[in-house]
A and B are shown apart, each in its own frame.
Chain A
Amino acid sequence: MSGPVAATTADGSRLHLQHGPIDLIIEAFGDAREVAEAYRRAWARFQPLLDELVDELPALRRPLSAGEPSGRVARRMAAAVRPFSGRFVTPMAAVAGAVADEICAEMTSCDLRKAYVNDGGDIALLLTPGESFDVGLVPVPHRPSLLGKATVRAGDPVRGVATSGRHGRSFSMGIADAVTVLACDAARADAAATIVANAVDLPGHAAVRRVPAAELDPDSDLGDRLVTVDVGSLTAAEVDAALAAGIAEAERMRSGDLIVAAVLCLDDQVATVGLPSGHDGFATPVLASAAYGGPGNHQPLGG
């Protein structure tokens, strides 16, 4: 069994932590000694993290029950999905964001100007007054082009960015190519993006091929629920209808103060919720939040 591993970029500026399916890219900005200490803390917190999660995995794969999970990451996951208890969602919808939040929080004890923890596109941010991050939005992982960027400033109520969609590492019950959400933290953004991506859908449409999740992954938290494996050709009206369903869900979340903004992508259509207009200026993205963190997961090998 492989244990957790760490590496830095050649110049030491970024830290890469990996254990099992968790892949984190971390970059902290500030005094070099403080950055080094922050990386040391991140690594120390990271090492037992997956084992803690695995201990509670069976419970985390089920919808929230009365009991509170015990692990710190598990509690973040539960807290992130609790406001969405009206929809089908398990704490696993927030796992990537919760891991990013946990590691990011561990670095706050260091004197950093800013930092990010990118867990395969689900990103936790640390910002001190006057600092900002430009977050690049990549709608479709297999046709990477920057849709645009959103600037997150220290004064904004945003410390998490996450993307979900049917090209991602986990299954989607909807047909969105990508839904990116800006929220108070990465776990909440992660859960919200998952739910909005599920809502972008055309129920019963013949061009959408679905199979029970358990057929693809016997351990999936979605069980026998249908997940999307292929989307055929859609008319512009159908795309609009699917997006409208997602927009409605995102608007409900925003009006409930659960998220700050969302960007929804299907085919070549893009819809936004809560973003000021004119956000789409181009700049070199500091962060790219894509709907995947590796090669298209859950694709047949060699595909």
Chain B
Amino acid sequence: MTEAAPDTVVCDACPIRCVIKPGRTGSCDRYGNVDGVLARVDPLLVLQRTQEQGGALVPFASREGDWEGELVPSEGVFVTGAGSGTTYPDYKPAPFIVSAKVEGVDMVTVVTEAIFSYCGADVKIDTDRHIGAERQIVRADGEAVGHVTTGQYGSQMLSLGGVNHLTGGSKREGLVTMRVLLALCSGEQAELSVDGGSDLVIQAGRAPIINGVVEERMRVGCGSATIGMFAQQWYEHVDEVVVVDDHITGVLSEHQAGRYLDIPPTGVKVKGRRSTPGRYFNVANPGTGWGGTDIEDPLTILDGFDPAVARPGLTLLMIGTTGEHHAYFVLDEQLRPVPQQLPEALRVSVERIRENCEPAMTSVLFMAGAGGSLRAGATVNPVALTRSVNSTLTKVTCGGAPVYVWPGGGITFMVDVTLVPPGAFGYVPTPALVAPLEFTMRRDDYDALGGHMDAVVPIEDVLARPDVRTLPG
């Protein structure tokens, strides 16, 4: 491997690890060095060039189960609803009903920008820190815009927006909610506060900022799980380990894993409610300190040592679940823990815990339902479109991004906002959000469900419009 010179980047997109000079691409043409930064180079470029050269496009559809992580095949031209414009109510045919031949089959894509009064953002914030109790109100500029909802593994969850905040409250509540949704869906920052909880600055695809502190890592596991994962590495280097965690604090010598390794009891007494051996609930209050608790000094969760068991010189490691907080103690003659330098062997395990914690992220899913009038823009018989979507004859996308369509009535979908093209989300003063939406199906299926066949235009005509922008695939 060549020594990397200044300004070159080493690509880590595939095992070849090309060394790429500024302004050039790696051997795949997919990744390049743009101003010293490794960047995914527009795969659609291929298509544009092929088209410029008069070549035929060969679209590939994803084969379920075989794609490993690639979200949509990059081949093929796809017209998104972004910027297509809309009318409300949608009694007129949708702005574009586009027809293209895909592998000999005529495909129709109904392209529209939909106005969603029923919509919101579900936000996953990777943190163990307490941001506020479930069901607490989430505010922006003092207005209620959503609430804290059921927490998930290593994450706190917010449910934002929805028709009750958009149009069910005061005019200002609706506008503030709309602005928060628009910002989050457009990949911009939103500043929120939780009643009785934290101040949050969140942005899709970025680490959350909680009470002014950037959250760096997700925890590797709960305190008990951390004991189980690292017991072998601590064994013989330290007498006792307490993993501080807001959920379950773990104690090595009492834990199943410690007993399996014949680690003797140390007499450490941990506050809180003992669950099973070596596992403690409620050692402290939730907060933004050690392991998602409110503590800054880990010794406050200890209730001393049992003099019948403990001995001077006994060593103790206390650590949070992300490895960010840790302290090492040795008991003095009065069995009081005295802080000491962390020994090298333990430093390695602390580093390993940090290393095993994934970067904390904020992820934002836009969730919305396509109403009756929108469906009427696609077909004269709106329920037929719902049925067609439910039976997967019709594929729904949001700005070309894959969506999850909820089972059951209506067309209610979720989409990862980071996959939707930039600038795709907008608003109307109702207030309501505007988002691109495309329904793609076979032409004969479209005809059968009462499609506006006379409004179908060939894809070439759409691409020839002067206002067409081509986006990275």
Contacts and interface: CB of A to CB of B under 8 A. Distances in A.
Partners in one complex: yes
Contact of A10 (B5, B23, B61, B70): B61
Given A57-B16, A144-B54, A218-B8, A8 B27 contact: no
A142 B50 CA distance: 9
Contact of B70 (A2, A141, A214): A2
Contacts of B29: 21, 169, 294-295, 297
Contact of B23 (A2, A16, A217, A301): A301
Contacts, number: 126
Contacts of A142: 49, 53
Interface residues of B, number: 49
A68 interface: no
A278 interface: no
Contacts of A51: 15
B376 to A, nearest CB: 28
Interface in A37-74: 43, 50-51, 54, 57-58
A3 B70 CA distance: 9
Contacts of A16: 60, 73, 75
A5 interface: yes
Nearest to B62: A7
A9 interface: yes
B25 A20 contact: no
Contacts of B24: 216-217, 298, 300-301
A13 B49 CA distance: 25
A13 B60 CA distance: 10
B14 A10 contact: no
A214 to B, nearest CB: 8
B101 to A, nearest CB: 10
B67 A6 contact: yes
A156 to B, nearest CB: 27
A190 B102 CA distance: 32
A13 B5 CA distance: 45
Contact of A50 (B15, B26, B73, B104): B15
A195 B12 CA distance: 31
Interface in B1-40: 1-2, 4-5, 8, 12-21, 23-29, 32-34
Given A51-B15, A218-B5, A9 B69 contact: no
A142 B25 CA distance: 19
Interface in B151-182: none
A194 to B, nearest CB: 15
Given A1-B15, A11-B103, A43 B66 contact: yes
A50 B16 contact: yes
A57 B2 CA distance: 12
B342 interface: no
B59 interface: yes
B14 A20 contact: yes
B55 interface: yes
Given A50-B14, A54-B15, A7 B23 contact: no
Interface in A13-49: 13-14, 16, 19-21, 25, 43
Contacts of B460: none
Contacts of A141: 53
Contacts of A215: 21
Interface string A143-160: 110000000000000000
Interface in B101-115: 102-105
Contact of B41 (A2, A4, A298, A301): A301
A219 B55 CA distance: 32
Contacts of A50: 14-16
B60 A21 contact: no
B299 interface: no
A131 B104 CA distance: 24
Contact of B63 (A4, A6, A13, A295): A6
A296 B45 CA distance: 10
Given A21-B27, A298-B24, A8 B60 contact: yes
B16 A297 contact: no
Contacts of A298: 24-25
A247 B316 CA distance: 80
B66 A10 contact: no
Interface string A264-303: 0000000000000000000000000000001111111100
Contacts of A6: 63, 66-67
B16 A21 contact: yes
Given A219-B19, A301-B25, A3 B66 contact: no
A300 B4 CA distance: 19
A4 B19 CA distance: 20
A50 B17 CA distance: 12
Interface string A205-224: 00000000011111100000
B14 A7 contact: no
Contacts of A8: 60-61, 63
Contacts of A20: 13-16, 27-28
Contacts of B338: none
B58 interface: yes
Contacts of A5: 66-70
Nearest to B73: A7
Given A3-B68, A9-B59, A297 B27 contact: yes
Contacts of A10: 59-61, 102-103, 105
Contact of B14 (A9, A13, A21, A58): A21
A6 B104 CA distance: 21
Contacts of B70: 2, 5
A57 B17 CA distance: 11
Contact of B25 (A2, A11, A144, A297): A297
B46 interface: yes
29 contacts: A2-B13, A3-B69, A4-B68, A7-B62, A7-B67, A9-B60, A10-B60, A10-B61, A19-B14, A20-B15, A21-B16, A50-B15, A51-B15, A54-B15, A54-B17, A57-B16, A142-B53, A144-B54, A144-B55, A169-B27, A216-B21, A217-B19, A218-B5, A218-B21, A219-B1, A219-B18, A296-B49, A301-B24, A301-B33
Given A20-B14, A20-B16, A298-B24, 19 more contacts: A3-B69, A7-B60, A7-B62, A9-B58, A10-B61, A10-B102, A19-B14, A54-B16, A141-B53, A142-B53, A144-B55, A217-B19, A217-B20, A217-B21, A218-B5, A300-B24, A301-B32, A301-B33, A301-B34
Closest 5 CB pairs of A and B: A20-B14, A21-B28, A218-B2, A21-B27, A54-B15
